[in-house]
A = this chain, B = another copy of it.
């Protein structure tokens, strides 16, 4: 229950821009691969701190990686 209202572009970014594996991203931001899997699947939304680190890993502002609602920022 209790829908997750936060979405993200992690998977897309990982492939398109950065050719990164789940494990590599996980290492880069300091979590386990399972966490990345869960986030890509939309199981839950990360802590704000982790969100910042992931955005940083992609060199993007947080709001270009994560969005609120079903509003993929364009």
Chain A residues with a Cβ under 8 A of chain B: 4-6, 45-53, 56, 61-63, 66, 68
Contacts and interface: CB of A to CB of B under 8 A. Distances in A.
Contacts of A47: 45-48
Copy tally for this chain in the complex stands at 2
By CB atoms of chain B within 10 A, which of A4, A47, A53 has the most? A47
B45 A68 contact: no
A5 B49 contact: yes
A65 to B, nearest CB: 10
Nearest to A50: B48
Nearest to A67: B52
5 contacts: A5-B52, A45-B48, A48-B48, A48-B51, A49-B68
